[in-house]
Amino acid sequence: MTNQALNLFDLSGRRALITGSSRGIGLALARGLARARAAVVINARDEASARTAQSLLREERLDATAALFDVTRADDVSAAIEALESETGPIDILVNNAGIQRRASLESFAAQDWNELMRVNLDGVFHVSQAVVRHMLRRGHGKIINICSVQSELARPTIAPYAASKGAVRMLTKGMCADWARHGIQVNAIAPGYFATDLNRALVDDPDFSAWLCKRTPAGRWGNVDELCGAAVFLASDASSFVNGQTLFVDGGLTSVV
Ligand code: NAP
């Protein structure tokens, strides 16, 4: 590949905020974007784990800072984004990654769990995007990547509320594209298949599920979180300048095959 082609993916001079990036997929995406030369902002609620993640990236000589806030608290989100924009620098790339899982049959799913799940997985995307996009609109460019799931498309027993939240994020991605594309902002989503992280520890620890998953997934295995980085760099970079409102499934083929 020529340098000109590779330059399309170069994120030098861009700053990316990745919500929920102290571990798991968010941390892998932060590392991937930083390796593509973006300056990255780690986010989580827990300070110690966010600082540890920041140190891990800095050990690799990557440009990483941290911003602690809870994506569900609109006022805190707004204050944190204003502080980042004025003190650290413009946010050119936003990855809405923070998310949680709660499992129970729908008929006995606690209303409190439903509310918590929706607040993090859906309201959080709205709050952070709204706070960040105001600055992107003023500048006339920006990239937003929403982390969806194969559950944006397919349901499974005991996780109906999670599937509903991720289906909504997929639709919100299209809605953001509808409102913001004309202002130079590209909004797309990545829908991961199954990746071994804390969020799905219950599945990772279940050998029957793991055997079923490997049979069900055309690639025959779990995903490795680093395998999400190519999609993220593509959607964060000039290489995707006319890609908007799309959901890119990174799932080893799971949603393509019955
Ligand atoms: P994880 O390992 O549990 O990490 C979640 C991250 O989000 C942590 O950094 C956590 O830090 C942060 N977080 C949680 N609630 C937050 C809040 N209210 N405000 C700010 N940060 C918050 O999860 P993961 O598996 O990496 O999942 C990341 C995303 O990928 C989620 O949206 C998930 O739905 C999606 N996804 C995962 C898979 C998978 O196979 N793992 C598949 C499809 C989609 P604190 O607790 O310190 O805040």
CATH number at residue 95: 3.40.50.720
Q: How far is CA 57 from CA 50, 52, 66, 154, 203, in A?
A: 11, 9, 11, 34, 28
The SS3 call for residue 142 is strand
Is residue 244 in some structural domain? Answer: yes
Is residue 61 in some structural domain? Answer: yes
Residue 175 CA to ligand 1 center (angstroms) comes to 23
Query: Which residue has 């690799």 as its token pair?
Result: 60
The average pLDDT across 91-100 equals 98
Is residue 112 in some structural domain? Answer: yes
pLDDT in tens, 201-216: 889 899 999 999 999 9
Tokens of 151: 């559950």
Q: What pLDDT shows up at residue 253?
A: 98
Closest by CA to 153, choosing from 26, 19, 256, is 256
Q: Are 54 and 42 in contact (CB under 8 A)?
A: yes
The average pLDDT across 242-256 equals 98
Q: How far is CA 3 from CA 11, 166, 233, 238, in A?
A: 14, 37, 16, 14
- pTM across the whole model: 0.98
Q: What pLDDT shows up at residue 4?
A: 87
Q: Which amino acid appears at position 105 of this protein?
A: S
**pLDDT at residue 73 greater than cutoff 80:** yes
Domain coverage including residue 112: 3-198+225-251
Q: Are 26 and 14 in contact (CB under 8 A)?
A: no
**pLDDT at residue 1 greater than cutoff 80:** no
Q: How many domains does the chain have?
A: 1
Q: What is the band of 10 on the pLDDT scale with cuts at 50, 70, 90?
A: very high
- What is the spatial distance between Cα 141 and Cα 242, in angstroms, rounded to a whole number? 12
The average pLDDT across 52-59 equals 98
- What is the spatial distance between Cα 28 and Cα 34, in angstroms, rounded to a whole number? 10
**pLDDT at residue 2 greater than cutoff 90:** no
Is residue 92 in some structural domain? Answer: yes
Is residue 220 in some structural domain? Answer: no
Is residue 257 in some structural domain? Answer: no
Q: How far is CA 104 from CA 31, 107, 158, 165, 205, in A?
A: 33, 8, 5, 15, 17
Is residue 209 in some structural domain? Answer: no
Measured from CB, residues less than 6 Å from any atom of ligand 1 are: 19-26, 43-46, 49, 70-72, 97-100, 120, 124, 147, 149, 192, 194-195, 197-200
For 145-194, the DSSP string reads: EEE--GGGT---TT-HHHHHHHHHHHHHHHHHHHHHGGGTEEEEEEEE--
Looking at the DSSP bridge assignments, the partners of residue 146 are 96, 189
Is residue 156 in some structural domain? Answer: yes
Ligand 1 pocket check: which of 17, 18, 22, 25 to mutate, most ligand atoms within 8 Å of Cβ?
25
- Side by side, the strands of the sheet bearing 93-96 are 64-68, 39-44, 15-18, 93-96, 142-147, 185-192, 247-250
Which is the closest atom of ligand 1 to the Cα of 100? 34
List all residues 6 or more positions away from 110 whose beta carbon is below 8 Å from its beta carbon: 104
Q: What pLDDT shows up at residue 190?
A: 99
Query: How crowded is the C-beta side of 191, counted as CA atoms within 13 Å?
Result: 26
Q: What pLDDT shows up at residue 3?
A: 87
Ligand 1 pocket check: which of 52, 81, 199 to mutate, most ligand atoms within 8 Å of Cβ?
199
Return the minimum-mean-pLDDT range out of 72-81, 145-154, 160-169, 196-205.
Answer: 196-205
